[in-house]
Amino acid sequence: MQIKEYTEKNIHTIEIIGDLDASSAIQLDKAFEDALLKGQKKILIDCKNLMYIASAGLGVFVSHIESFKEQNINCILYNMSDKVKNIFQILGLDSLLMIVKDREAALHSIQ
């Protein structure tokens, strides 16, 4: 798995490429931790190339929900495939995290 990151107009984007499983979840966790340390308040997660997610990957998102609330951070996931979204839905995480269709919708929601 690879993580690509860039910041543009105070919006930090994290792109996840590949499979987010037990052996790669730590990379996403580090990306979140770094973004929080830098004081990022608007975080977008591009899931276009997220091919697979296991519980370890879901756990990274779940473990940060409270920090996002505490630090008033807006985090939005977009470009998610139906099969990956389905895994979020199984645990009801689609109602705890904002998941939108594409980057345009994500940018609109995060403003």
Partner 1 sequence: MIYYYKINCLPKNLKLIREFTTSALRNMPLSDIEINQLVLAVDEICTNLMVHAHHYNPDEFIEVSISQFPEAIQFEIIDRNITDFDISQYKFLGMTKIIQEKRKGGLGLLLVHKIMDKVELKQENSQNTWRLLKTLPQK
Burial of residue 25, with CB atoms counted within 10 A of its CB: 0-12 exposed, 13-18 middle, 19 or more buried: buried
Beta-carbon count within 10 A of 37 CB: 8
Give the C-alpha separation, 106 to 75, whole Å: 9
Is 49:37 a contact under the CB 8 Å cutoff?
A: no
Residues near partner 1 (CB under 8 A): 19, 21-23, 25, 29, 52, 54-56, 58-60, 62-67, 82-84, 86-87, 90-92, 96
From the CB of 54, what's the least distance to partner 1, in Å?
6
Give the C-alpha separation, 41 to 64, whole Å: 13
Residue whose CB is less far from partner 1, 55 or 109? 55
From the CB of 108, what's the least distance to partner 1, in Å?
26
From the CB of 52, what's the least distance to partner 1, in Å?
7
Residue whose CB is less far from partner 1, 5 or 29? 29
Question: What is the C-alpha end-to-end distance of the chain, expressed in Å?
Answer: 29
Residue whose CB is less far from partner 1, 2 or 7? 2
From the CB of 84, what's the least distance to partner 1, in Å?
8
